[in-house]
Amino acid sequence: MLKSHSCGELNKKYAGKKVTLAGWVDRRRDHGRLIFIDLRDREGIVQVAFNPEVSDQCHKTANELRNEYVVRVSGEVTFRPPGTENPKLATGDIEIIAQDVEILNPSETPPFYINEDIEVEEGLRLKYRYLDLRRARMQANLLLRHRVVKFIRNFLEAKGFIEIETPILIKSTPEGARDYLVPSRRHAGRFYALPQSPQQLKQLLMVAGVEKYFQIARCFRDEDTRADRQPEFTQLDLEMSFIEQDDILDLFEGLFTSMVETAKPEGPAIKPFPRLTYADAMERYGTDKPDLRFGLEIGDLTDIAAQSDFSIFRSVVDKGGKIKGICAPGCATYTRKQLDELNRVVRELGAEGLITMALGTTTGSLDNLTLDMVRSVAAKFLSLGQIKEMAERLGAEMGDQLLIIAGKPEIVNVALGELRGEMGHRLKLAKPNLFAFTFIVNFPLLKRDEATGQWGPMHHPFTAPRDEDVPLLDTTPEKVRGKHYDMVCNGYEIAGGSLRIYTSHLQRKIFKLLGYSDEEVKENFGHLLEAFDYGAPPHGGVAAGIDRMVMILAGEETIREVIAFPKSQTATDLIFNAPSPVTEEQLAELHLRLREEL
């Protein structure tokens, strides 16, 4: 090794010891005769003092040093003179008196600051990712991610799971996201596909008698990116045999609780994780991934509204619609402009409009509320009693603003769910350092495609229907609930899984319902159906987004911050400039010719 110690590990216990360090110049402070260098390596920063009276040669070299120069320094760990200790630095009690210094490699002035955590345009960061990753924040994220993955491996190993790798070159199947394709040289006109997830492979491992499998699996989906979506991402993929739903949920509750306790001791997870049915989640939060760091639950006001003389309410009730709302605490003073903004949000989601109801302008008990203190288009059609009843149901007090939507139940829920999220964000209602996990269970097995009317899987086609709902497959498929569960944390979908179908006849029935022809089933899933006929055990599993979980733990806004080399929004790599053209020879070898696009 070129160094005997790391910069960050040194403290007063090392005083008097001669050490050799190597790292990057974080900062130089030149006092003319005396020069200080903050030397940085992965473990931290330590101050090096260059005194010409100790070594004139060293002092001369120190004069040449600039930020990000790579240097090697030898010297004695020394107590700083009394009064000059730096409490902001972990190593601030001591410094290195340089006796020998060597520039291992100079550096250009970096395109952005390495030694300060300031916002830099992300494209530039991605182009110089190797410098971006040198920054303390990104080093911390890399380390956190490593620890999370290490923790998962240890935890699952202790529970009897074994890690098995599955192929990256596999087959394109019709369902799901767009595939990334890899042309075959050996088989003209044929393609591999990169896995969207190892779903079928892990089920085959269950048939193989593995019983408890997991993998830190790279997955690929050729769809548009988002702050929490990348073309390639990493899942904790897991599957077990001979289990029931609670076995998976309990396992994950234990895994993620301990993970948070280990990675973020200051912000523990609430346990046990609340378990909500899909129907409840939609009714109360308007989404299947509610952020439970704050309340602000949606309340049903239909019965009260039905009593009123407000024509909008009456007509919606007559058509079988719902009137629901949430309370925006302290927002009675919202301006017309602010309310218009909220109105726009819900209209974009298909709601007719937002009915707002400002409850006075001062705080206090609802007992003091009078009709003329209520600002709302609906006010004159409602009695004071009706208004108070609505307010109480939404947990409102004086000074709050009720946000009410009337219409089709699904639209009302989703729009209010969006408003709930928006208000939670604006009012900063989410408690910091809190990890609010929840399981969502009893999803519908199927959803209907709006355009075609065709049934599609809510999760994927291998999810088992609940036993008591199986007869409904033939009559009312929309009522069939699946043995599917999601895990949500702070409003992000972190994991999803299900108990699987493990008999070929039920799997065939589902495929048929999903509109696959016998031909397609045989071609794409024949191997799986055949496997089920060779003693497939009951099994189920789950997959968790590692990137998203680490993002939440790191307090970051995008998963790019916890991926070493992420793609840009347009799915390009800004360091390598990938994707890139290839030579005519390469294409010919792969039996490919490029289409002439318009």
Partner RNA sequence: GGCCCCGUGGUGUAGCGGACUAACAUGCCACCCUGUCACGGUGGAGAUCGGGGGUUCGAAUCCCCCCGGGGUCGCCA
Q: Alpha helices, DSSP H only, in 436-559?
A: 504-513, 518-532, 546-554
Nearest CB to RNA, comparing residues 29 and 505: 29
Q: List the structure tokens of 135.
A: 């920054």
Size of the site for RNA (CB under 7 A): 66
- Give me the least distance between CB of 178 and RNA, in Å please: 7
Q: Does 597 bind RNA (CB under 7 A)?
A: no
Binding flag, residue 362, RNA (CB under 7 A): no
Q: Which of residues 236-295 bind RNA (CB under 7 A)?
A: none
Q: How far is the CB of 5 from RNA (least distance, A)?
A: 18
CB of 10 to RNA, least distance (A): 13
User: Three-class SS of residue 254?
Assistant: helix
Is 223 or 247 the residue whose CB approaches RNA more closely? Answer: 223
Distance between CA atoms of residues 523 and 525, nearest Å: 6
Q: Can you tell me which of 274, 520, 572, 587 binds RNA, judged by CB under 7 A?
A: 572
Q: Which of 32, 40, 95 is nearest to 63 (CA)?
A: 32
Asked if 426 touches RNA (CB under 7 A), the answer is no
| Structure-token match 């080093």, residue found | 139
* Nearest to 407, CA basis, from 353, 334, 484: 353
CB nearer to RNA: pick between 390 and 499: 499
Selected range binding RNA among 244-252, 354-362, 431-439, 564-572, rule: CB under 7 A? 564-572
Under the criterion CB under 7 A, does residue 345 sit at the interface with RNA?
no
The residue whose two tokens read 């070493």 is: 564
Q: Which of residues 162-191 bind RNA (CB under 7 A)?
A: 175-178
Kindly state the smallest distance separating residue 97's Cβ from RNA, in Å.
7
Q: Is 11 in the site for RNA (CB under 7 A)?
A: no
Question: Of residues 226, 319, 431, 479, which one binds RNA by CB under 7 A?
Answer: 226
Q: Which is nearer to RNA, 135 or 293 (CB)?
A: 135
Retrieve residue 167's tokens.
């192929």
* Least spacing, CB of residue 475 vs RNA, in Å: 22
Show the site string, 444-483: x = touches RNA by CB under 7 A, - = not: ------------xxxxxx----------------------
Contact between 539 and RNA per CB under 7 A: no
Instruction: Using the CB atoms, write b or e for 206-224: b if 16+ within 10 Å.
Output: bbeebbbbbbebbbbbeee
**Residue 175 is encoded by which pair of tokens?**
């369902």
The continuous run of DSSP H or E covering 257 comes out as: helix 245-263
Helix (H, G, I), strand (E, B) or coil at 587: helix
CA distances (Å), origin 61, targets 20, 65, 75: 16, 7, 14
Q: Which residues contact 351 (CB under 8 A, 6 or more apart)?
A: 405, 407, 411, 412, 415
Q: Which is nearer to RNA, 26 or 400 (CB)?
A: 26
Backbone angles phi, psi at 451, to 5 degrees: -75, -50
What span, in angstroms and rounded, lies between the C-alpha atoms of 294 and 292?
A: 5
Does 225 contact RNA by CB under 7 A? Answer: yes
Contact string (CB under 7 A) for RNA, positions 96-115, x = contact: -------------x-xxx--
Helices (H), 159-234: 199-207
Q: Does residue 229 touch RNA according to CB under 7 A? A: yes
| Residue of 11, 20, 51, 524 interacting with RNA (CB under 7 A) | 51
Q: Does 80 bind RNA (CB under 7 A)?
A: yes
8 A C-beta contact, residue 241 and residue 539: yes
Rounded to 10 degrees, the C-alpha dihedral 230/293/359/316 comes to: 60
Q: Which is nearer to RNA, 360 or 461 (CB)?
A: 461
Contacts of 319 (CB under 8 A, 6+ apart): none
Q: Work out how close the CB of 28 gets to RNA at its nearest, in angstroms, rounded to a whole number.
A: 7
Residue choice 135, 212, 221, 548 for contact with RNA (CB under 7 A) = 221
Return the beta strands (E) in 264-364 as ranges: 275-277, 299-300, 322-328, 355-359
CA distances from 352 to 165, 297, 343, 405 (A): 51, 21, 9, 8
- Where does 43-135 have alpha helices with state H? 56-64, 122-127, 129-132
- Please, which residue, 303 or 449, has the CB nearer to RNA? 449
Interface of this chain with RNA, residues 190 to 209, rule: CB under 7 A = 196-197, 199
Compare residues 132 and 400 and give the one whose CB is closer to RNA. 132
Binding residues vs RNA (CB under 7 A): 27, 29-34, 36, 38, 47, 49, 51-53, 66-67, 80-81, 83-86, 88-89, 92, 95, 109, 111-113, 118-124, 126, 175-178, 196-197, 199, 221, 223-229, 456-461, 558, 560, 568-570, 572, 574
